[in-house]
Amino acid sequence: MGNPAVPFRSRTLPSYSAAARKALTFSAVAVTLLPIPVTYFKILPAYPLHARFLLIYAPFVCLLTLSYLFYVRDSLARAMFADVLDPQAPPDSYYHPMGERLGRWFRRLKAITLGILPVLMVITSMYCVSRYLAVFNLSVASAAEAYVERADTVEVRLTQGQQRAKPPRNAGRSSSAPTRPDTAAADTLPKPSDSTAVREYVIRASRLDSTPRVVELTALYIGAFVAMLVAVTLMALKEYAKEAMGLSEHELMFGRYLQSEGQ
């Protein structure tokens, strides 16, 4: 008969789980609330009306993501510590069934994926921020171009209307200078030739239904925070699972079970 696997208890090693767990938990809560100051203090540029929308929904989506990860924490813990909780038997030197090989390959792939997933999420968050800035500039450029086209169209119509109008024959001198019909609008709308003023105006005056690429901007903005939250929460949940399962540092690195000797 083969030697049965028995629990192995090593000497007590210093544990850093408590400090790491507290730091990661604080980080997860901070990332959940991070969209509020970022949006309120305009750390990332945004349309004012769109910023109000993001100020409400970005923390809400982050909170839902955090709640869902906490909801499935048991499944995540079993997947993270599968090799420790249920170590596989050593492979047979003479017989390698396909199902066993696939099972080993799938378990190894799952462990590698969970190990690098936080890093991938951090990279995803950085990509979302950089892509958001690029898309925001494209959106503002599109809105400014549309504004200039509308202004040119109005200018052409006003010019044509003035050319068709005939001045009265016996008109005397007016005591006051004539005013253009679009004087009030000219006081509030920037000139199409002033690109800086046009850019500031379209950012300030754009509505959600008329903002170019508003869906992409929303997805990238919220995705930047959600990806960072997933990265921090996965690391925090691993520390929680480690303490809940009673795993020591030695067991985490070398496994909980060893073959007993002398049997």
Domain boundaries defined on the chain: 15-87+107-160+185-259
Helix (H) or strand (E) holding 257: strand 257-259
Q: Report the chain's mean pLDDT, rounded to a whole number.
A: 78
Give residue 72's pLDDT band: very low, low, confident or very high (50, 70, 90): very high
**Three-state helix/strand/coil letters over 8-70:** CCCCCCCCCHHHHHHHHHHHHHHHHHCHHHHHHCCCCCCCHHHHHHHHHHHHHHHHHHHHHHH
How many H helices and E strands in the chain? 10, 2
What are the beta bridge partners of residue 5? 259
- Among residues 201, 204, 184, 196, the alpha carbon closest in space to that of 150 is found at 201
104-158 per-position pLDDT tens digit: 777 778 778 888 999 999 999 999 999 999 999 999 999 999 999 888 776 555 5
pTM for the full predicted model: 0.74
- Give the dihedral sign, CA 172/175/179/181: negative
Q: Extract the tokens encoding 56.
A: 């409400």
**Residue 82, pLDDT above cutoff 50:** yes
Find the angle CA(61)-CA(22)-CA(75) to the nearest 5 degrees.
60
Residue in 53, 57, 65 with CA at minimum distance from that of residue 29: 65
